[in-house]
Amino acid sequence: MPESPAPLRIAVLGAGTVGSQVIRLLHDQHDDFAARSGVAISVEKVLVRDPGAPRDVPIDPALLTTDPVEAIDGMDIVIELIGGIEPARSHVLRALEQGISVITGNKALLAAHGPELYNAAAASGADLYYEAAVAGAIPVVYGLRESLAGDRITRIMGVVNGTTNFILDAMSAQGLSYEEALARAQELGYAEADPSADVDGLDAAAKCSILASLAFHSRVGLDDVAVEGIASITAEDIAEAAFFNRTIKLLAIAERRIGEDGAEGVAMRVHPALLPLDHPLASVDGAFNAILVEGEAAGRLMFYGQGAGGAPTASAVLSDLVAAAHHRAYGGHAPRESVYARLPILDPGIARTRYQIRLQVEDRLGVLSDVAGIFARHGVSIHSVHQRDDKEPGACVIVATTHLAREADLRAVTRALGQSPAVREVASAIRVEGE
């Protein structure tokens, strides 16, 4: 019989929504994890800010510490679930530089400092795993990094932020106000410590950049993604979407495109968009996430599941732990950063999209022709127009949906409409995807 490897010493940095569930599952299923990894796993330290704070799960007080050096040094594997950039970055680097493998769910950190972390891991031979950083329980990082490593990915489109999806869904299905829906998402543990990262689209943008790096074998960061959040979406927009058999989702889109110089590059954007109700992403409700991946050989794949919440995210963390523990005990390592393709980042203005523009206009002869003229002057073709009376006297509502056009031209149309004497208000301009 080969000798059993010594138990692995694990530190969990952070015992909040996700960290507490990781600790609970490691305790409750201790023997299963040992069997799956081939080595016993022992949680030795739990780093927190306030050791006296109430916890969702019981944690042996002897494990709690506020000292990162005590928590990290001498461990075999460190699980970072603090969030944010600092002190998470310093702690992760401290571990990697000592050859300690790191598992993190921190997309903000990866999107801002991914190359630095990858380099530190490669230099010391440590593993860096981050399945939980994108879409909670869904194994999309593994899917892109390993299962689809043999394919050429052309496009990724996903609902990757549980908080905003929960908010949009609660506003449309339960009639909750934006504020009520956000408060509920925070209570359920979906939102980031600063929920503006969710509602402003930055959390989705960080995930978009991580997925794009993996899919396109190129280094991309948060600043390379054009971002709009959901703050501008009103109950009226949601009702209007339902009227046209559509729903509104915050989408993350990353695609290969040919740039204006004729060379291939990567274009990435995060924004709310109208989707037809029969689109595969339209039925992704609550805090669920889904990612559609298009591969040249594989065709279209859809990854779907719980995108946020303590236990679903802990599932992803622990899958990484099984792999990292096995490598520690028996050799091997996680895939390293793959950036050989070095595709340039394209200006998001060259993306071709469609808009649905809702206008409040003067109810007078020729107004439709004035509006149509503005679209025509900017080279944007109208697909359909719907007109109805407005509740304000002397006004009516026009809802125009365009054909595909350059994003830059669509923005110019929206600006010009806002300046036209025929238009009282550009009530909304929302992109249309999937039709």
Residues making contact with ligand NDP (CB under 6 A): 14-19, 47-50, 53, 81-83, 87, 105-107, 132, 136, 189-190, 192-193, 308-309, 313
Residue 179's Cβ-count burial label (10 Å; 0-12, 13-18, 19+) is exposed
What gap in Å lies between CA 328 and CA 4, rounded to an integer?
13
Instruction: From the list ligand NDP, ligand HSE, none, pick the one residue 82 interacts with, judged by a Cβ distance below 5 to 8 Å according to partner type.
Output: ligand NDP
CB of 361 to ligand NDP, least distance (A): 43
Residue 192 contacts ligand HSE per CB under 6 A:
yes
Q: Does 83 bind ligand HSE (CB under 6 A)?
A: no
Q: Which does 16 bind (CB under 5 to 8 A by kind): ligand HSE, ligand NDP, none?
A: ligand NDP
**Contact between 198 and ligand HSE per CB under 6 A:** yes
Asked if 306 is part of the footprint of ligand HSE (rule: CB under 6 A), the reply reads no
What is the Cα–Cα distance from 319 to 309, expressed in whole angstroms? 16
Q: Which does 161 bind (CB under 5 to 8 A by kind): ligand NDP, ligand HSE, none?
A: ligand HSE
Exposed, middle or buried: residue 432 (CB in 10 Å: 0-12, 13-18, 19+)? buried
Binding partner of 163, given ligand HSE, ligand NDP, none, CB within 5-8 angstroms per partner class:
ligand HSE
Q: How many CA atoms, within 13 angstroms, populate the side-chain half-sphere of residue 287?
A: 22
Task: Choose between 23 and 351: whose C-beta lies nearer to ligand NDP.
Answer: 23
Query: Which of ligand HSE, ligand NDP, none lies near 403, with the C-beta cut-off 5 to 8 A by kind?
Result: none
Which residues fall within 8 angstroms of residue 78, CB to CB, at 6 or more apart?
Answer: 10, 11, 13, 71, 72, 91, 92, 95, 100, 101, 102, 103
Closest approach, Cβ 182 to ligand NDP, in A, equals: 14
If binding is defined by CB under 6 A, does position 312 make contact with ligand HSE? no
Nearer residue to ligand HSE within complex by CB, 136 or 229: 136
* Cβ neighbours of residue 181 closer than 8 Å, sequence gap 6 or more: 166, 167, 170, 171, 174
Asked if 203 is part of the footprint of ligand HSE (rule: CB under 6 A), the reply reads yes
The single residue listed with the structure tokens 């992803």 is 316
Cα atoms in the Cβ-side hemisphere of radius 13 Å centred on 237: 26
- Catalytic, 107? Answer no
In the complex, minimum distance from the CB of residue 352 to ligand HSE, in angstroms, rounded to a whole number: 28
For residues 88-108, one letter each, b for 16 or more C-beta atoms within 10 angstroms of the residue's C-beta and e for the rest, the string is: bbebbbbbbeeebbbbbbbbb
CB of 401 to ligand HSE, least distance (A): 29
Q: Cα-atom radius of gyration of the chain, to the nearest Å?
A: 24
- 307 touches ligand HSE by CB under 6 A: yes
DSSP state of 2: P
Q: Which residues are catalytic?
A: 207
